[in-house]
Amino acid sequence: MVTRKKLANEIANACYLSSVEPKSVKDAFKDENWISSMQDELQKFERNEVWTLVPRLLGANIIGTKWIFRNKTDEVGNVVRNKARLVSQGYTQIEGVDFEQTFAQVARLESIRLLLAMACFMKFKLY
């Protein structure tokens, strides 16, 4: 059973969300909700200090970016959030020129479990 408050929240959220996932940036620029999601993503880069704009070097291999647009839904299937993610096109890198080593952006669950087990056994404090 849906309460009045929950129904009012769903209606309010639906007013500020787009149910259509754009296929390109040009399509996303036609909707204020997606523009807001894109701005949020760029602000996260600045807040986490992972984004630095540098001048282009002559002869340098430039790695492009691409926007990915997804609607996040709840268990019923209602759109609860528009998520825009800016990803790099790392496949354009050249080994030995652009990078020496690559690293995964996300830790594997097995690695986290091993770390927690060792910390517990050796009585380490983790932050």
Looking at residue 2, what is its pLDDT?
A: 54
> Model's pTM, two decimal places?
0.58
CA–CA distance, 52 with 31 (Å, rounded to integer):
27
pLDDT tens readout for residues 10-51 = 554 545 566 778 888 898 889 888 999 999 999 998 999 888
- CA neighbours closer than 13 Å in the CB half-sphere of residue 48: 8
